[in-house]
Amino acid sequence: MPISVRLPDDSVRQLPDGATGTDLALSIGPRLAEAALAVRVDGKARDLKAPVRDGEKIAILTGKDPEGLDLLRHSTAHLLAHAVKRLYPDAKVGIGPVIEDGFYYDFQVAKPFTAEDLPAIEAEMKKIVAEGIEVTREELPRDDAAKLFRSEGELLKAEIVESIPQGEIISGYRQGDFYDLCRGPHVPNTSKLKAFKLLSVAGAYWRGDEKNAMLSRIYGTAFATQKEVDEHIQRLEEARQRDHRKLGRELDLYSFHPEAPASPFFHPKGTIVYNELVAYIRELYHKYGYSEVITPQIMDVALWKTSGHYENYADNMYFTTAEEREYAVKPMNCPGHCVYFATGKHSYRDLPMRIADFGRLHRFERSGVTHGLTRVRTFCQDDAHLFCAQDQIKSEMAAFLDLFYEVYATFGFGEIRVALSTRPEKRLGSDEIWDQAEGALAEAMTEKGLAFTLNPGEGAFYGPKIEFQVLDALKRPWQLGTLQVDYMLPERFELHYTQADGTEARPVMLHRAILGSLERFFGILVEHCGGAFPAWLAPVQAAVLPITDRVHPFATQVADRLRAAGLRPELDIRNEKVNAKIREAQLQKVPYMLVIGDREAEAGTVSVRHRSKGDLGVQPLETFLEALQAEVRSRAH
RNA sequence: GCCCACAUAGCUCAGUGGCAGAGCACUUCCUUGGUAAGGAAGAGGUCCCCGGUUCAAUCCCGGGUGUGGGCUCCA
């Protein structure tokens, strides 16, 4: 009795009873059968070896489908574990999931793997592929599976199985002498795994818990074809070229020194960029009705006890003592702003009060977590606190979103992820207050038509927060901007204002930052533009390049004129050929190069070259100057 | 903090149990040039720090510090 199945193009195919996904693929064509990895039935992936049933709607999955690619990677993770078990029989397997762009597998071994071990493991993987071992699904009751793993000494696997409810049927996959717990599906044969590469090793806690054993993790990637693997390796290499730590050195922007771990020294060029960022934000503060304050770096621990930081954040704070009085270096501006708010008596007419502060912050970060400019121990934020009434939260939030997106448009950041982080376990305040705060944020977002995800339990201890994330060159997500509702600090500092009816009320505090940490933003920005800053940020906006020393006087005049007009020229009077000067300026990613020879000196013109557009021809100096000024003023990117 | 790796000239990196190396950058001289490297000479070192092994340690061993890849953490 033949059965019929429907393909995605709605064509119907007859197959003999008991036919499998493999048979279906074969009936369509040998090339498809070769590429086939699994089938998808009703949106669920299934093994090729499983029989198809009459009336099913079936799609054949290959490495071209995102789902097929994940499966390929998952099977490659198993392949990795298989190879490791062959080479290191004592290794115990942990878990081996698919991640963005690849996979990893965790192992418990006496001696952690090092990068040198990878080629041998990879060679063994290729051997298993060449052997063309069949991969088969096996199902058994949960208790039997647990017993099986225990008897084989695979205690980590047994632990996972035992966390599954009793009575369930467990599926596993066998390839030759290797057996692994897995939901599946998997490729039908190891020969399907043709293109993969092991990338790195790292330590990782079992089940991600610091209290558990440290396992040895191997990261790898896999694609349908070797070409795609090569392209991926190429992309990783390009990302490394854009790494802000490398560019920071090459462009002379900042440096790090052992004397101050994880604390950047901004060089003159980096400082120009940094200050331009601050100047831009200040300009917007003026437009959006903010006031700026300057508050102390070091304050009595009493303040931090009042704010709750001493209790909740002391591990990340620096302390100092003078005249037997204990002080803390500020890790945040908010308590200082509460002190400022309490300085005067406020009316509802004063609200909202938007208090900005570019104060330097110090936070002790555990060694091992710091990273270039993106995770440092001293930084400053484009920080501000909005003191407002409860019914002003939504409008303040809306205004902030406008401000935020205006800034991000200026920098040309396209992909911004927005997430709402909700109450963490360690927190201040009652559940009612948290309900109110989380609700206000979510509502404001929804009314703005903003799509956002939830990060349950990731909120600050004093309130929920909205986080804006962008990705760096290596696609790592970084939090930059944020907005946080805070009912706690006004309470702790007993802040109040007089309402219209003469009664006193507690203001709500909104903590918010657009760029977040300027240091971190700087790092992300460098990677975003590959070091080629837009003209308004570029430390050197125009390199003045005389061809011969006969024209040095005119070249000097050109540089002086630009400088007098508020621009940032750099005069290169080194005894070098113009080719060398151009190359240098290109490598420094200077937006404009002004080549000056006898002809230009004679005519009072400059020969303009743009770092990416190339030779723009000869222009009168004033024409170029006005164009550059306009470009800078508009903050074009 | 935990696992692994790395640390040699300003930068990128070779190298060796017995005098410390290259390229680029730097300095000087020659060269005066037209849109991505002109030539020559010179100078430049606590081989990260402390201890151990050794006749002898930049190299081997131990500890520390810093950096990197991850994990955990991250207001």
Contact (CB, 8 A) for A544 and A594: yes
Q: Is the CB of A461 under 7 A from strand B?
A: yes
Nucleotide nearest to A617 (CA to C1'): B35
Residue type, A235: R
Please tell me the total count of domains within chain A: 4
- Residue-range definition of the domain harbouring residue A32: 3-62
Do A22 and A46 fall into the same domain? yes
The yes-or-no answer on residue A511 being catalytic is yes
List, for residues A271-294, the tens digit of each pLDDT value: 999 999 999 999 999 999 999 999
Where residue A58 sits, what CATH number does that domain have? 3.10.20.30
In a domain, A406, yes or no: yes
Q: Is the CB of A542 under 7 A from strand B?
A: no
In a domain, A299, yes or no: no
Q: Report the candidate in A399, A365, A123 with the shortest Cα–Cα distance to residue A261.
A: A365
Do A91 and A166 fall into the same domain? yes
The yes-or-no answer on residue A383 being catalytic is yes
In a domain, A448, yes or no: yes
Q: From CA A232, how far away is CA A101, in angstroms rounded?
A: 8
pLDDT for the residue A17? 83
Nucleic strand B contact set for A 393-452 (CB, < 7 Å): 424
**Average pLDDT for residues A114-123, to the nearest whole number?**
90
Contact (CB, 8 A) for A607 and A581: no
Where residue A213 sits, what CATH number does that domain have? 3.30.980.10
Do A390 and A500 fall into the same domain? yes
Do A106 and A215 fall into the same domain? yes
CA dihedral A357, A358, A363, A367 (to 10 degrees): 160
* A70, A383, A486, A572: the active-site residue: A383
Rounded distance in angstroms from the CA atom of residue A347 to the C1' atom of nucleotide B63: 62
Q: Is the CB of A309 under 7 A from strand B?
A: yes
Q: Is the CB of A329 under 7 A from strand B?
A: no
| ipTM of the prediction | 0.93
DSSP labels, A436-473: HHHHHHHHHHHHTT---EEETT-SBTTB-EEEEEEE-T
- Biggest alpha carbon distance in chain A? 96
Do A183 and A284 fall into the same domain? no
* A78, A192, A330, A363: the active-site residue: A363
Q: Is the CB of A245 under 7 A from strand B?
A: yes
Rounded distance in angstroms from the CA atom of residue A281 to the C1' atom of nucleotide B44: 44
In a domain, A79, yes or no: yes
- Bridge partners, residue A329, by sequence: A298
Nucleic strand B contact set for A 339-368 (CB, < 7 Å): 365-368
List, for residues A433-492, the tens digit of each pLDDT value: 788 888 888 888 888 888 888 888 888 777 888 999 887 766 777 889 999 988 889 999
**Residue A251 scores a pLDDT above 90:** yes
Do A229 and A160 fall into the same domain? yes
In a domain, A487, yes or no: yes
Q: Which nucleotides of B are covered by protein (CB under 7 A)?
A: 1-5, 11-12, 26, 29-38, 65-75
Q: Which residues contact A547 (CB under 8 A, 6 or more apart)?
A: A578, A595, A596, A597, A598
Do A181 and A159 fall into the same domain? yes
Nucleic strand B contact set for A 584-613 (CB, < 7 Å): 586-587, 593, 595-600, 607, 609
List, for residues A45-85, the tens digit of each pLDDT value: 888 888 888 888 888 888 888 889 999 999 999 999 999 99
Q: What angle do CA A521, A483, A533 make, to 5 degrees?
A: 20
Nucleic strand B contact set for A 462-491 (CB, < 7 Å): 462, 465, 474, 476, 482, 484
Contact (CB, 8 A) for A440 and A394: yes
pTM (two decimals): 0.91
The yes-or-no answer on residue A528 being catalytic is no
Rounded distance in angstroms from the CA atom of residue A115 to the C1' atom of nucleotide B6: 12
Burial of A334 (0-12, 13-18, 19+ CB in 10 A): buried
In a domain, A367, yes or no: no
pLDDT for the residue A428? 74
Closest protein CA to C1' of nucleotide B74, residue: A365
Contact (CB, 8 A) for A104 and A220: yes
Q: From CA A103, how far away is CA A80, in angstroms rounded?
A: 10
Where residue A270 sits, what CATH number does that domain have? 3.30.930.10
Q: Is the CB of A627 under 7 A from strand B?
A: no
Site of tokens 């592929």: A129
Q: Is the CB of A237 under 7 A from strand B?
A: no
Where residue A597 sits, what CATH number does that domain have? 3.40.50.800
Nucleotide nearest to A217 (CA to C1'): B70
The yes-or-no answer on residue A334 being catalytic is yes
Do A556 and A521 fall into the same domain? no
Do A87 and A210 fall into the same domain? yes
- The Cβ of residue A281 has, within 10 Å, a number of other Cβ atoms equal to 21
Helix H or strand E encompassing A32: helix A30-35
Do A140 and A40 fall into the same domain? no
Do A84 and A56 fall into the same domain? no
In a domain, A468, yes or no: yes
pLDDT for the residue A474? 67
Quote the mean pLDDT of chain A.
Answer: 91
Rounded distance in angstroms from the CA atom of residue A619 to the C1' atom of nucleotide B31: 30
Sign of CA dihedral A417, A421, A426, A428: positive
List, for residues A340-396, the tens digit of each pLDDT value: 999 999 999 999 999 999 999 999 999 889 999 999 999 999 999 999 998 898 889
Rounded distance in angstroms from the CA atom of residue A101 to the C1' atom of nucleotide B7: 31
The yes-or-no answer on residue A257 being catalytic is no
In a domain, A153, yes or no: yes
List, for residues A516-559, the tens digit of each pLDDT value: 999 999 999 999 999 999 999 999 999 999 999 999 999 999 99
pLDDT for the residue A304? 95
- The Cβ of residue A461 has, within 10 Å, a number of other Cβ atoms equal to 17
Do A492 and A385 fall into the same domain? yes
